[in-house]
Structure 1
Amino acid sequence: MEKGNNVQVFDLAKRTADMLVKMFGQRCEVVVHDFKDLKKSLIYIAGNVTNRKIGSPITDLVLTELRKDPAEIEDIPNYKTQARNGTLLKSATVFLRDAQKRVIGALCINYDISQMMINVGELEEFLSFNVADDKSENFHSTVQDVIHDMVHQVLTNFKKAHTQLTLEEKIECVRLLEEKGAFLIKGSTEYLASVLGVSKFTIYNYLNKIRTQNEYHLEEETNE
């Protein structure tokens, strides 16, 4: 009876191997091992990734597991292996047991991920950005949206309501927008004035002060 149960176990393992390969395609290989003879334990192969044949021996990883007490032997999911030809594999091993819970074999899944690793490398290269450049770009339909967004980005730096900004903070706000080129757009001065609760002439005064300081620093650097 025990022998018959073992036949059923291996039959189910073989059918599972076929189903997995049909599901995951040509990069998948599933093999079944019978531990009656470890020197030629491989009794079934579905797919072909490792180029082994029926009668191939057990692997070193499985041998290490078999040295353990049977009760301590556990399935091994999701580990990295490499075929003799250098193919990188994602593998898993499920141990097969008889009616008395004795380990009698294994179903081993090997999936070739070499091409995936190449694709991942290409994707990472394509999706990478120049870390040194802290740049952002927004796409708007109207020039008003451009102005509004630039002003909003600057105001969020102050972590307070724009009506509570001090004189120095308002000047700093104008300076940041000047650096961003916001005042190259007609209407930005008026909009910022309305947001900060000052007149557009006050914004002009801030701008003149900032530009004068910038020119002074530029002259100093040139003289040096």
Structure 2
Amino acid sequence: RKLGDGPSHIVFESMHEGTTDVHDREPYLTKTTDGKLLKSSTIFIRNDEGKPVGILGINFDITLMKAFERSLDAFTGTGGTGYTEPEPITKNIGDLLEDLLHECEQFVGKPAALMTKDERIRAIGYLDRRGAFLISKSSERACEFFGISKYSFYSYLNEAKAAADDK
């Protein structure tokens, strides 16, 4: 854009709000006719009575930066897997089980000691889906973690599997 070019849609919308109630516009995106992407800001210049008499428009071409951002995201992204947190690398299988136990607390949203029966069933189902019970003696550690008996553990595991089958 150059000096004297017409205003953007944002300016017209602002002017429509009323001459005394127009507000400066924080950065917003605009696109030129030749396809350049701009980060734009609009600042209204006012006379002594507060009436807008001019506009200062600041436009910054971010086309290359956005292209770079997309390239960088394609390189570093996880392809829409839904994982937003880095997966911890554990040194031994016991640490992996402990990580999974703490993950299930985050999944349910409360510590194991405060979970209701239904929440424990959800947590145990989560652990089962994550493969926690493929680890030797993991059921014993889960019983200890949740403060339940082996009988309750297997009952909860069966309920979690049945609920998963119903879906």
What TM-score does the superposition give when structure 1 sets the normalisation length?
A: 0.40
Q: Which ranges of structure 2 fall in alignment gaps of 5 or more residues? A: 4-63
- Counterpart in 2 of 1:201? 151
- Counterpart in 2 of 1:123? 72
Change (3 A) 1:197 1:117: closer
- Counterpart in 2 of 1:191? 141
User: Which residue of the other structure, out of 128, 134, 145, is the alignment partner of 2:95?
Assistant: 145
- Counterpart in 1 of 2:109? 159
Deviations 1:161-181 (A, max 9, x none): 321211111111111111111
- Counterpart in 2 of 1:11? none
Measured in 1, the distance between the counterparts of 2:156 and 2:70 equals: 50
Deviations 1:37-84 (A, max 9, x none): xxxxxxxxxxxxxxxxxxxxxxxx8xx7xxxxxxxxxxxxxxxxxxxx
Measured in 2, the distance between the counterparts of 1:198 and 1:212 equals: 20
Q: Which ranges of structure 1 fall in alignment gaps of 5 or more residues? A: 1-60, 65-114, 219-224
% same residue: 25
Deviations 1:76-116 (A, max 9, x none): xxxxxxxxxxxxxxxxxxxxxxxxxxxxxxxxxxxxxxx99
Change (3 A) 1:146 1:122: same
Measured in 1, the distance between the counterparts of 2:105 and 2:94 equals: 17
Measured in 1, the distance between the counterparts of 2:110 and 2:161 equals: 26
Written as runs of structure 1 = structure 2, the 5 A alignment for 1:26-41 is: none
Measured in 2, the distance between the counterparts of 1:188 and 1:212 equals: 20
Larger Rg: 1
- Counterpart in 2 of 1:134? 82
Measured in 2, the distance between the counterparts of 1:168 and 1:182 equals: 19
CA shift, 1:144, in A, is: 0.5
SS at match of 1:140: coil
CA shift, 1:201, in A, is: 2.6
CA shift, 1:195, in A, is: 1.1
CA shift, 1:158, in A, is: 3.2
Change (3 A) 1:166 1:139: same
Measured in 1, the distance between the counterparts of 2:160 and 2:65 equals: 54
- Tell me if structure 1 keeps the 8 A contact 2:108–2:122: no
- RMSD over aligned Cα, in angstroms? 3.2
- Counterpart in 2 of 1:75? none
1:179 aligned onto 2:126: no
Change (3 A) 1:199 1:122: same
